[in-house]
Amino acid sequence: MWLYFLPLLAYLLGSVSSAVVIAGLMGLPDPRETGSKNPGATNILRYGGKTAAILTLASDILKGVIAVLVAQALTADPMIITLTGFAAFLGHLFPVFFGFHGGKGVATALGVWLALNPWVGLALIATWVLVAVLFRYSSLSALMASLAAPLYVAWLSPSAPYLATMIVMSAILIFRHRSNIRNLMAGTEAKIGR
């Protein structure tokens, strides 16, 4: 019965906002009040530099990885495992410790899928990198990876809980990027490295 508390614990883990914590430790401004006001690695990169961005990205990915690996170590139930990963993702989006003002969830979602199925995770990374190299938009890379993600899961890990979870995560990720979509369409979206 206690296994059903895993999603709650994962939500609390996801609620630790890596960007806010790392910015504070490095003496940088709060990312929720600076730049794009998104507490994520891309915003941190623009005003805090590569080291802060890499630490933020790695920490956000690890939240998803740790949540899923712990669940997998304690149960073989795919529903509990996927719910645990999804809860870590939701914690990143709506962190209870930071006024429910979280990031867009790309890195934590990647961490969840690297742990659930490394091939899906690697396919998502390859998609993100390819789009980033071709177009130099972080948001467009995230959107293309989100659109492709359910196809990757259907191909590489075709179980109902995994596919349902990925469809919902992708829909949320796309919704969270709605301002970026508007900026891309208007030609005002900031490029990587600018």
pLDDT tens-place string over residues 122-131: 999 999 999 9
Say how many CA atoms lie within 13 Å of 152 toward its Cβ.
Answer: 24
**What's the rounded Cα separation, in Å, for the pair 158 and 176?**
26
Other CB atoms within a 10 A radius of the CB of residue 25 amount to 10
**CA dist., res. 68 & res. 116, Å (int):** 7
- Residue 172 token pair: 């949320």
Q: Residue 4: what pLDDT?
A: 82
159 and 150 in contact (C-beta within 8 Å)? no
pLDDT in tens, 93-102: 999 999 999 9
pLDDT of residue 194: 62
What is the extent of the structural domain holding 18?
2-186
Residue 191 lies in a domain: no
Residue 78, φ and ψ in degrees, nearest 5 = -65, -30
What domain count does the chain have? 1
97 inside domain? yes
- Which residues in the chain show pLDDT less than 70? 1, 194
**Selection from 108, 90, 102, 100 nearest residue 146 by Cα:** 108
User: What pTM value is reported for the model?
Assistant: 0.94
Q: How far apart are CA 162 and CA 157, in angstroms?
A: 7
Would residue 194 count as lying in a domain?
Answer: no
Q: Is residue 119 part of a domain?
A: yes
